[in-house]
Each structure stands twice: as C-alpha cells, then as structure tokens.
C-alpha cells in the first residue's frame, strides 16, 4: 500500500530530524532556492563562498542585502553566466567568478544538462555516449589563499557531484569554515550513497555537526563556533 504524499513528507521530516543536533538560530535564507543557515553566528561582514548559481541567487543576494555579507560566487556554466548577467544580480557585495569549484584546479570535463531549461552541468559521467564540455576550475583552498580570506563563514556547495572532492580539499587543507551548506548528489548516476556517507563521516570527524537536513540538503556547523 502506498502512503499518502502528506504522510510521506511528514515521515521524511521526522527521519531527517533524527540526524540533527538541536540548534537555535537556524533560518531559511533565499527565495526559490533557499538554504538553512545559523544566522545568529554570522559575524559582521561575514565571508560567503558559494559554488553553483543555476537560475537563482536569492540566497546570495539576501546574505549580501540583509546580513551585509561579502559573497564570492563560482559557476562556469552558460546557465550561471546568464543568471549573473541579470541587472538585479549586480551588487557591490557580490563578486562573480566564471570558474567551477573542484578538487583540483584546471580545465575539467562536465556533462551537459539533461534538461537544457534547468541548465545544470554535472560532474563527468563514466559513459562515452554522454555529451560533455570543459570548464576552467579552481579549488576553495587556492582561492582562500590567493585572497587571504582569513576565514569562510559559510561555504555553500550545490555543484552537481563535484562536492565530494571540494570537501576533501577544504578538510585536507584545514580551512577555517564555520558553516557548510551542501547538496549531496548520490542520486546521480555514477555516485554512490557510500560517497555521501564517507563525506559526512569526514566532516563529523573534523568537528562539524549536522544541524539541518532536508532530503539531500545539509547544514553543517563547526562545533567550535556554535552558541
């Protein structure tokens, strides 16, 4: 027997909550694409690094407008470039780089979108028949060092399968990051749920707690900065 959709959603919320620590100050930020963060621990002039634009940057714009954050956005795709070219996305506190975030710097292979209107370019698939392209990429650690950031208050990763390597990079380099917003993509072909489990395990071993989980979207907060 198939459960009603409303009941399935309710059970999903209960299941997701079991993963999380109790945390005050969790707020949804953004419009069509929103993310949960702890706004109570955002310092003045917080530094945000955001990987992945897609068709919506209301999360980043609200952080810049309402919370006074300095936001660095990365997305090499035509979708991201078109979104960031819109007049409403021009902002003195938002800095856009047409680069991907990955585990290593260089020109890397991306798979073309399955849905051109949605426009997500994904990590390369192990299939010679899948159409692909190449984009220039950098690492979070390289950007952090080049800009001498000192800290990253929120790192958001919605980067279509590249998140696993990026997380390995920031943990290996021990970058001072207070919060991570991550969408894991183990639902994509070629990515296993065990990769997500390993990534979560590494984050927890490195001092992060899961403070919000909604399906594949996670908020991790460093235990040393929690109130």
Question: Could you tell me if residue 117 is inside a domain?
Answer: no
Torsion angles phi and psi, residue 7, rounded to 5: -70, -40
Q: Residue for token digits 């954050």?
A: 69
pTM of the model: 0.90
**For the chain, how many structural domains are there in total?**
1
CA distance 185 to 150: 29
Angle between helices 163-172 and 140-147 (to 10 degrees): 50
Write down the pLDDT at residue 117. Answer: 79
Write down the pLDDT at residue 187. Answer: 82
Domain containing 194 equals 25-101+139-225
Beta bridge partners of 181: 156, 219
Residue 203: helix, strand or coil by DSSP?
Answer: helix
Say if residue 59 is exposed, middle or buried (CB neighbours under 10 Å; 0-12, 13-18, 19+). Answer: buried
Question: Could you tell me if residue 120 is inside a domain?
Answer: no
CA distance 156 to 182: 6
Write down the pLDDT at residue 13. Answer: 58
Beta bridge partners of 176: none
Pairing type for strands 132-138 and 100-101 reads parallel
Q: Residue for token digits 């994509």?
A: 188
Write down the pLDDT at residue 10. Answer: 44
CA distance 180 to 48: 10
Question: Could you tell me if residue 197 is inside a domain?
Answer: yes
CA distance 115 to 182: 22
Question: Could you tell me if residue 35 is inside a domain?
Answer: yes
Ranges of the chain with pLDDT below 50: 7, 10-11, 227
Write down the pLDDT at residue 118. Answer: 82
Question: Could you tell me if residue 221 is inside a domain?
Answer: yes
Question: Could you tell me if residue 18 is inside a domain?
Answer: no
Write down the pLDDT at residue 24. Answer: 78
CA distance 201 to 182: 14
Question: Could you tell me if residue 116 is inside a domain?
Answer: no
Beta bridge partners of 136: 107
Answer yes or no: are the C-beta atoms of 136 and 99 closer than 8 Å. yes
Question: Could you tell me if residue 213 is inside a domain?
Answer: yes
Q: Residue for token digits 């940057």?
A: 57
CATH number at residue 196: 3.40.50.150
């Amino acid at each position: 027997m198939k459960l009603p959709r409303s009941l399935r959603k309710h059970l999903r919320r209960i299941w997701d909550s079991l993963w999380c620590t109790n945390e005050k100050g969790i707020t949804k930020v953004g419009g069509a694409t929103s993310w949960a963060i702890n706004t109570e621990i955002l310092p003045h002039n917080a530094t945000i690094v955001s990987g992945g634009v897609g068709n919506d940057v209301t999360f980043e714009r609200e952080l810049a407008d309402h919370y006074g954050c300095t936001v660095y956005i990365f997305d090499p795709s035509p979708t991201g470039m078109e979104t960031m070219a819109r007049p409403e996305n021009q902002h003195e506190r938002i800095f856009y780089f047409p680069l991907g975030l990955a585990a290593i710097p260089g020109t890397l292979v991306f798979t073309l979108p399955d849905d051109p209107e949605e426009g997500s370019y994904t990590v390369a698939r192990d299939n010679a028949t899948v159409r692909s392209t190449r984009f220039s990429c950098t690492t979070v650690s390289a950007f952090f060092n080049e800009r001498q950031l000192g800290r990253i208050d929120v790192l958001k990763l919605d980067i279509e399968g590249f998140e696993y390597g990026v997380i390995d990079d920031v943990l290996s380099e021990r970058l001072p990051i207070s919060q991570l917003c991550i969408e894991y993509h183990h639902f994509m072909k070629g990515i296993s749920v065990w990769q997500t489990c390993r990534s979560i395990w590494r984050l927890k071993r490195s001092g992060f707690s899961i403070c919000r989980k909604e399906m594949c979207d996670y908020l991790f907060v460093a235990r040393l900065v929690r109130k």
